[in-house]
Amino acid sequence: MEATAFRAFLAKGGRSPSAAARVIGYVADYESYLNEAGTTLDEAGPAELESFVAHFEASGDDARLYLWAIAYWYEFAEEPFLAHVAGEMRRVRVEESSFRIRGFRGVDASDAERLERVGVGTVPAVLEAGATPAQRCALSADTGVSLEAIEDLVRLSDLARLSGVKGVRARLYVDAGIRSIPDLAAREPVALCTELRSWVEESGFEGLAPFPAEVAHSVEAAGRLEAVVTW
Protein backbone atom coordinates (compact mmCIF):
# COMPACT_ATOMS: atom_id res chain seq x y z
CA MET A 1 0.00 0.00 0.00
CA GLU A 2 1.24 3.48 -0.90
CA ALA A 3 0.56 4.83 2.59
CA THR A 4 2.09 8.30 2.13
CA ALA A 5 0.21 9.08 -1.08
CA PHE A 6 -2.97 7.54 0.33
CA ARG A 7 -2.69 9.70 3.45
CA ALA A 8 -2.32 12.81 1.25
CA PHE A 9 -5.41 11.74 -0.75
CA LEU A 10 -7.43 11.37 2.44
CA ALA A 11 -6.25 14.75 3.75
CA LYS A 12 -7.22 16.40 0.47
CA GLY A 13 -10.67 14.87 0.85
CA GLY A 14 -11.09 16.43 4.29
CA ARG A 15 -10.26 13.46 6.47
CA SER A 16 -8.60 14.39 9.76
CA PRO A 17 -5.18 12.88 10.64
CA SER A 18 -6.81 10.53 13.15
CA ALA A 19 -9.47 9.41 10.64
CA ALA A 20 -6.79 8.90 7.99
CA ALA A 21 -4.79 6.76 10.41
CA ARG A 22 -7.82 4.57 11.06
CA VAL A 23 -8.54 4.19 7.34
CA ILE A 24 -4.95 3.22 6.63
CA GLY A 25 -4.99 0.72 9.49
CA TYR A 26 -8.16 -0.96 8.22
CA VAL A 27 -6.78 -1.18 4.68
CA ALA A 28 -3.53 -2.62 6.04
CA ASP A 29 -5.53 -5.39 7.72
CA TYR A 30 -7.26 -6.10 4.39
CA GLU A 31 -3.89 -6.18 2.63
CA SER A 32 -2.48 -8.61 5.22
CA TYR A 33 -5.45 -10.91 4.71
CA LEU A 34 -4.97 -10.84 0.94
CA ASN A 35 -1.25 -11.49 1.23
CA GLU A 36 -1.89 -14.48 3.49
CA ALA A 37 -4.30 -15.80 0.87
CA GLY A 38 -1.68 -15.39 -1.86
CA THR A 39 -2.93 -12.24 -3.58
CA THR A 40 -2.48 -8.46 -3.39
CA LEU A 41 -4.49 -5.25 -3.23
CA ASP A 42 -3.89 -4.71 -6.94
CA GLU A 43 -5.06 -8.22 -7.85
CA ALA A 44 -8.08 -8.50 -5.55
CA GLY A 45 -11.61 -8.29 -6.91
CA PRO A 46 -15.18 -8.50 -5.55
CA ALA A 47 -14.82 -12.17 -4.61
CA GLU A 48 -11.74 -11.48 -2.50
CA LEU A 49 -13.45 -8.53 -0.83
CA GLU A 50 -16.48 -10.62 0.06
CA SER A 51 -14.21 -13.39 1.33
CA PHE A 52 -12.44 -10.89 3.60
CA VAL A 53 -15.73 -9.57 4.97
CA ALA A 54 -17.04 -13.12 5.52
CA HIS A 55 -13.83 -14.06 7.33
CA PHE A 56 -14.04 -10.94 9.50
CA GLU A 57 -17.74 -11.31 10.31
CA ALA A 58 -17.24 -14.96 11.20
CA SER A 59 -15.96 -13.74 14.57
CA GLY A 60 -19.19 -11.79 15.08
CA ASP A 61 -17.54 -8.42 14.47
CA ASP A 62 -18.89 -5.49 12.42
CA ALA A 63 -17.27 -5.07 8.98
CA ARG A 64 -18.76 -1.67 8.20
CA LEU A 65 -15.69 0.35 9.18
CA TYR A 66 -13.47 -1.92 7.11
CA LEU A 67 -15.73 -1.43 4.10
CA TRP A 68 -15.73 2.34 4.72
CA ALA A 69 -11.94 2.37 4.61
CA ILE A 70 -11.61 -0.03 1.68
CA ALA A 71 -13.99 2.11 -0.41
CA TYR A 72 -11.65 5.06 0.16
CA TRP A 73 -8.68 2.93 -0.92
CA TYR A 74 -10.32 1.95 -4.18
CA GLU A 75 -11.24 5.58 -4.87
CA PHE A 76 -7.57 6.47 -4.37
CA ALA A 77 -6.50 3.55 -6.58
CA GLU A 78 -8.89 4.74 -9.31
CA GLU A 79 -10.95 1.54 -9.17
CA PRO A 80 -14.49 2.98 -9.24
CA PHE A 81 -16.20 -0.39 -9.64
CA LEU A 82 -14.53 -1.87 -6.56
CA ALA A 83 -15.17 1.35 -4.63
CA HIS A 84 -18.85 0.94 -5.56
CA VAL A 85 -18.86 -2.73 -4.48
CA ALA A 86 -17.35 -1.86 -1.10
CA GLY A 87 -19.79 1.02 -0.68
CA GLU A 88 -22.78 -1.17 -1.52
CA MET A 89 -21.66 -3.88 0.89
CA ARG A 90 -21.41 -1.26 3.61
CA ARG A 91 -24.76 0.30 2.68
CA VAL A 92 -26.52 -3.05 3.00
CA ARG A 93 -25.06 -3.52 6.45
CA VAL A 94 -25.82 0.04 7.55
CA GLU A 95 -29.42 -0.16 6.42
CA GLU A 96 -29.75 -3.81 7.48
CA SER A 97 -31.73 -4.37 4.31
CA SER A 98 -32.54 -7.80 3.00
CA PHE A 99 -30.04 -9.28 0.59
CA ARG A 100 -31.38 -9.26 -2.95
CA ILE A 101 -31.25 -12.44 -5.00
CA ARG A 102 -29.61 -10.54 -7.87
CA GLY A 103 -26.53 -10.42 -5.67
CA PHE A 104 -25.96 -14.16 -5.75
CA ARG A 105 -23.26 -15.23 -8.16
CA GLY A 106 -24.58 -17.23 -11.09
CA VAL A 107 -28.22 -16.13 -10.86
CA ASP A 108 -29.77 -15.42 -14.26
CA ALA A 109 -30.85 -11.76 -14.42
CA SER A 110 -34.04 -12.62 -16.31
CA ASP A 111 -34.99 -15.15 -13.62
CA ALA A 112 -34.41 -12.53 -10.92
CA GLU A 113 -36.57 -10.06 -12.84
CA ARG A 114 -39.45 -12.52 -13.18
CA LEU A 115 -39.35 -13.27 -9.46
CA GLU A 116 -39.15 -9.59 -8.55
CA ARG A 117 -42.33 -8.97 -10.53
CA VAL A 118 -44.22 -11.17 -8.07
CA GLY A 119 -42.48 -9.71 -5.01
CA VAL A 120 -39.89 -12.45 -4.57
CA GLY A 121 -36.67 -10.49 -4.91
CA THR A 122 -35.00 -10.90 -1.52
CA VAL A 123 -33.73 -13.73 0.64
CA PRO A 124 -36.67 -13.61 3.11
CA ALA A 125 -39.17 -13.49 0.24
CA VAL A 126 -37.59 -16.52 -1.47
CA LEU A 127 -37.61 -18.50 1.77
CA GLU A 128 -41.25 -17.62 2.40
CA ALA A 129 -42.41 -18.38 -1.16
CA GLY A 130 -40.28 -21.49 -1.66
CA ALA A 131 -40.22 -23.20 1.71
CA THR A 132 -41.88 -26.44 0.57
CA PRO A 133 -41.77 -28.59 -2.58
CA ALA A 134 -45.35 -27.62 -3.42
CA GLN A 135 -44.60 -23.91 -3.03
CA ARG A 136 -41.53 -24.18 -5.25
CA CYS A 137 -43.49 -25.90 -7.98
CA ALA A 138 -46.20 -23.24 -7.77
CA LEU A 139 -43.65 -20.43 -7.88
CA SER A 140 -42.05 -21.97 -10.96
CA ALA A 141 -45.42 -22.27 -12.68
CA ASP A 142 -46.42 -18.70 -11.77
CA THR A 143 -43.20 -17.06 -12.94
CA GLY A 144 -41.86 -19.25 -15.73
CA VAL A 145 -38.59 -19.69 -13.83
CA SER A 146 -37.44 -23.30 -13.98
CA LEU A 147 -37.89 -25.44 -10.89
CA GLU A 148 -34.15 -26.12 -10.92
CA ALA A 149 -33.41 -22.38 -10.76
CA ILE A 150 -35.99 -21.90 -7.99
CA GLU A 151 -34.42 -24.70 -5.94
CA ASP A 152 -30.96 -23.21 -6.45
CA LEU A 153 -32.17 -19.82 -5.20
CA VAL A 154 -33.81 -21.40 -2.17
CA ARG A 155 -30.58 -23.20 -1.25
CA LEU A 156 -28.58 -19.99 -1.68
CA SER A 157 -31.11 -18.01 0.35
CA ASP A 158 -31.16 -20.59 3.12
CA LEU A 159 -27.38 -20.37 3.53
CA ALA A 160 -27.49 -16.56 3.24
CA ARG A 161 -29.19 -16.44 6.62
CA LEU A 162 -25.67 -16.82 8.02
CA SER A 163 -23.64 -13.67 8.70
CA GLY A 164 -20.98 -13.18 6.04
CA VAL A 165 -22.47 -15.78 3.68
CA LYS A 166 -23.92 -13.86 0.76
CA GLY A 167 -23.34 -13.55 -3.00
CA VAL A 168 -20.05 -15.38 -3.50
CA ARG A 169 -19.74 -17.43 -0.32
CA ALA A 170 -23.26 -18.88 -0.58
CA ARG A 171 -22.51 -19.88 -4.18
CA LEU A 172 -19.30 -21.57 -3.09
CA TYR A 173 -21.09 -23.63 -0.46
CA VAL A 174 -23.95 -24.66 -2.75
CA ASP A 175 -21.74 -25.52 -5.70
CA ALA A 176 -19.42 -27.50 -3.43
CA GLY A 177 -22.35 -29.64 -2.30
CA ILE A 178 -23.80 -27.99 0.82
CA ARG A 179 -27.52 -28.40 0.34
CA SER A 180 -29.08 -26.60 3.34
CA ILE A 181 -28.50 -25.09 6.78
CA PRO A 182 -29.02 -28.50 8.49
CA ASP A 183 -26.55 -30.04 6.04
CA LEU A 184 -23.94 -27.42 6.94
CA ALA A 185 -24.62 -27.82 10.66
CA ALA A 186 -23.95 -31.55 10.39
CA ARG A 187 -20.51 -31.15 8.81
CA GLU A 188 -17.22 -31.55 10.67
CA PRO A 189 -15.50 -28.14 10.34
CA VAL A 190 -11.91 -29.28 9.72
CA ALA A 191 -12.94 -31.84 7.12
CA LEU A 192 -15.31 -29.36 5.46
CA CYS A 193 -12.61 -26.69 5.26
CA THR A 194 -10.27 -29.17 3.57
CA GLU A 195 -13.05 -30.21 1.19
CA LEU A 196 -13.88 -26.61 0.26
CA ARG A 197 -10.24 -25.69 -0.34
CA SER A 198 -9.78 -28.73 -2.59
CA TRP A 199 -12.97 -27.91 -4.47
CA VAL A 200 -11.90 -24.31 -5.10
CA GLU A 201 -8.54 -25.48 -6.47
CA GLU A 202 -9.98 -28.25 -8.63
CA SER A 203 -13.01 -26.36 -9.97
CA GLY A 204 -11.30 -23.05 -10.69
CA PHE A 205 -13.90 -21.23 -8.60
CA GLU A 206 -13.25 -17.47 -8.77
CA GLY A 207 -12.90 -16.66 -5.10
CA LEU A 208 -10.87 -17.51 -2.04
CA ALA A 209 -11.55 -20.64 -0.04
CA PRO A 210 -12.65 -19.94 3.54
CA PHE A 211 -10.20 -20.08 6.42
CA PRO A 212 -10.69 -22.72 9.17
CA ALA A 213 -12.06 -20.21 11.72
CA GLU A 214 -14.67 -19.00 9.24
CA VAL A 215 -15.84 -22.53 8.45
CA ALA A 216 -15.98 -23.44 12.14
CA HIS A 217 -18.05 -20.34 12.89
CA SER A 218 -20.44 -21.01 10.00
CA VAL A 219 -20.98 -24.62 11.05
CA GLU A 220 -21.58 -23.57 14.66
CA ALA A 221 -23.93 -20.74 13.63
CA ALA A 222 -25.87 -23.06 11.31
CA GLY A 223 -26.49 -25.34 14.27
CA ARG A 224 -28.31 -22.51 16.05
CA LEU A 225 -30.65 -21.74 13.15
CA GLU A 226 -34.07 -23.28 12.80
CA ALA A 227 -34.72 -25.23 9.59
CA VAL A 228 -37.16 -23.22 7.48
CA VAL A 229 -37.04 -25.21 4.20
CA THR A 230 -38.26 -28.74 3.52
CA TRP A 231 -37.04 -30.88 0.62
Give the separation between CA 94 and CA 170, rounded to whole angstroms: 21
For 139-182, write each residue's pLDDT tens digit: 999 999 999 999 999 999 999 988 778 888 999 999 999 999 99
For 202-227, write each residue's pLDDT tens digit: 998 988 888 887 888 889 889 988 88
Q: Are residues 76 and 107 in the same domain?
A: no
Within a domain: 198: yes
Within a domain: 20: yes
Q: Are residues 41 and 151 in the same domain?
A: no
Amino acid at 191: A
Domain closes at, from 37, 71, 95: 95
Is the model's pLDDT at 26 over the cut of 80? yes
Domain closes at, from 95, 119, 136: 95
Q: What is the largest CA-CA distance in the chain?
A: 60
Domain closes at, from 54, 73, 95: 95
**Which residues are CB-contacts of 8 (< 8 A; sequence separation ≥ 6)?**
none
Residue 109 belongs to domain spanning:
101-224
Within a domain: 141: yes
pLDDT recorded at residue 129: 94
Q: Are residues 140 and 172 in the same domain?
A: yes
Q: Are residues 117 and 154 in the same domain?
A: yes
Q: Are residues 106 and 89 in the same domain?
A: no
Amino acid at 195: E
pLDDT recorded at residue 59: 64
Q: Are residues 88 and 107 in the same domain?
A: no
Work out how many domains the chain is built from and give that number: 2
Concatenated DSSP letters of 113-145 = HHHHHTT--BHHHHHHHTSSHHHHHHHHHHH--
Q: Are residues 65 and 28 in the same domain?
A: yes
Q: Are residues 123 and 78 in the same domain?
A: no
pLDDT recorded at residue 184: 96
Is the model's pLDDT at 95 over the cut of 70? no
pLDDT recorded at residue 3: 87
Q: Are residues 127 and 213 in the same domain?
A: yes
Torsion on CA atoms 171, 183, 226, 139, rounded to nearest 10: 50
Within a domain: 90: yes
Q: Are residues 89 and 126 in the same domain?
A: no
Q: Greater confidence, 51 or 30?
A: 30
Q: Are residues 58 and 116 in the same domain?
A: no
Within a domain: 231: no
